[in-house]
Amino acid sequence: MLELAVLGLLKERPMHGYELRKQLTQRLGLFWTVSFGSLYPTLKRMERRGAVARAEVRGEGRMRQVYRVTPAGELLFLDLLCEGLDTPEQERFPLRMAFLGHVGPELRIRLLERRKRWLQDRLEAGSQSLRHLSPGADAYATSLVRHGLDHTERDIAWLDDLLATERHRLDEERGSWPCAGGTPPEPPLYPSTQEMPTP
């Protein structure tokens, strides 16, 4: 997850380690606790893999190690964005959502639809639990289930709004490539050496 966050931020602009730490906190701190102690080992590992490149740049009177994403890192970003779609989405989705602006409407629709189906399954399971509660069930436990169902329904409605916007955008940009800067071959939604998992 940290690799995905770092690549997503570096896609916006090159940054040195301190700025990356600051952006991770500002952008993702509400949804995800960032372990700063793991940032520099992650950067070193990604540099060895060729996903990021490092250069010394003078700034504020001293030399800084500035990182940028490489073409291999661009592909790794897409792999990580779509990784594990068959596993529970609760933890990974906010991080994916933070960087959906880096891909085209086709891939955004696919990811948002996957999230919606997951929430619909949770809604159905929660509704069944509520129906099977005995008439004398604890009022607080019942209220908690109802609260979870209300929250899930709001999330589904929010996703419906996002999907409507993306489908409208796709109608206007029919045939666009999910990543900027190229025209796709026959028309894959997932530009990577691995196929995207099917729902």
For residue range 84-95, list pLDDT tens digits in order: 665 556 667 888
For residue range 20-63, list pLDDT tens digits in order: 988 888 887 766 667 668 888 999 999 999 999 999 887 677 88
Same domain, 109 and 143: yes
Query: Looking at residue 54, what is its pLDDT?
Result: 93
For residue range 1-20, list pLDDT tens digits in order: 889 999 999 999 999 988 99
Q: In the chain, how many domains are there?
A: 2
Same domain, 110 and 57: no
- The answer to the question of residue 45 being in a domain is yes
Tell me the two tokens of residue 169: 């955008």
- The answer to the question of residue 129 being in a domain is yes
- The answer to the question of residue 12 being in a domain is yes
- The answer to the question of residue 42 being in a domain is yes
For residue range 188-198, list pLDDT tens digits in order: 344 443 343 43
- Cα separation, 69 vs 72, in Å, equals 8
- The answer to the question of residue 117 being in a domain is yes
pTM: 0.70
- The answer to the question of residue 9 being in a domain is yes
Same domain, 7 and 76: yes
- The answer to the question of residue 185 being in a domain is no
Residue-number span of the structural domain to which 151 is assigned: 104-172
Tell me what the pLDDT averaged over the chain comes to: 81
Residue 185 has pLDDT above 80, yes or no: no
Question: Under a CB-based contact definition with an 8 Å cutoff, are residues 51 and 7 in contact?
Answer: yes
The CATH number of residue 69's host domain is 1.10.10.10
Residue where a domain terminates, one of 66, 81, 96: 81
126/32: higher pLDDT: 126
